[in-house]
Chains A and B, each alone.
Chain A
Amino acid sequence: MAEEIKAGCARPTGGPVGEPAAALSEPKSSVQEEEKKAMIKVGSKAPDFTAPAYHQGKFTNVKLSDYLGKWVVLCFYPGDFTFV
């Protein structure tokens, strides 16, 4: 699934999972930026992204759309070595 790679940066692909990221190449206005922030809606496709990861002793690159076909629980949290 996720191949082992050198360190990269996390970035949204600019499109929902399973669809091409066509909108990203167009020039962005502030209105479009606002729309981007409002992409999260239940019943809509999740925004796709890639991100470097640590997984069981290896550094990998994870792409959300690689998990199409599975249920995914995507959990954000404030920080490593914090308390809760």
Chain B
Amino acid sequence: MGAQILSVSVDSHFVHKMWNDNELSKMVKGGIPFPMLSDGGGKVGTVYGVYDSDAGVENRGRFLIDPDGVIVGFEVLTPPVGRNVSETIRQIQAFQLVRASKGTEATPSGWKPGKKTLKPGPDLVGKVWEVWKTSEAFD
């Protein structure tokens, strides 16, 4: 998949080191493999619309950026609910497939690797019901 993860919070990079060394390295063998970025004051988070200036922290914003630097998707959650990493991975797989097909294929609702894609074009207009069933939107 080859995606680069970057995590960001308002904590200093010194605190990131302490968190990695004292807690996260006990959950993830070898410690956190990606850069842990510091955004003191939330300047970067503000530009991305995820910094909560009242609480002084970032919300759980996740931005998917393609190799051209274009944001292809994002999700923002308030702090108490964690994300679904599997869904992020699925979205990357879908966007990579579409990009590799140069836009000749599209991934319908519920698509995951192994499921069929759609090939948009004049022949498919009004015919999606023949090639794709709503049950395929679910696992």
Q: Is B one of A's binding partners?
A: yes
Interface residues of A (CB under 8 A from B): 2, 7, 9-12, 16-18, 36-37, 39-49, 51-56, 59-60, 62, 64-65, 67-82, 84
| Contacting residues, chain A, for B2 (C-beta < 8 A) | 70-71
Provide 25 A-B residue pairs closer than 8 Å at the C-beta atoms, listed in order of the A residue: A9-B40, A10-B38, A10-B40, A42-B72, A44-B71, A51-B37, A52-B12, A52-B13, A55-B34, A59-B13, A67-B6, A70-B2, A71-B2, A71-B67, A73-B3, A73-B4, A73-B64, A74-B61, A74-B65, A75-B5, A75-B61, A75-B62, A76-B7, A76-B62, A84-B80
Complex CA distance for A25 and B129, rounded to whole angstroms? 54
B69–A16 touching, CB < 8 Å: yes
Listed residue (B69, B74, B80) with the most chain A CB atoms within 10 angstroms of its CB? B69
- Output the nearest chain B residue to A67 by Cβ-Cβ distance: B4
Interface residues of B (CB under 8 A from A): 1-20, 23, 31-41, 43-50, 55, 57-74, 79-83, 88, 92, 95-96
| Contacting residues, chain B, for A60 (C-beta < 8 A) | 35
Which 5 pairs of residues, A with B, have the shortest CB-CB distance?
A: A17-B69, A54-B16, A76-B58, A80-B19, A53-B35
B31–A12 touching, CB < 8 Å: no
| Contacting residues, chain B, for A36 (C-beta < 8 A) | 47
- Shortest Cβ gap from B4 to chain A (Å): 5
Complex CA distance for A59 and B13, rounded to whole angstroms? 7
B50–A76 touching, CB < 8 Å: yes
A45–B62 touching, CB < 8 Å: no
Contact A7-B13, Cβ < 8 Å, known A71-B96, A75-B6: yes
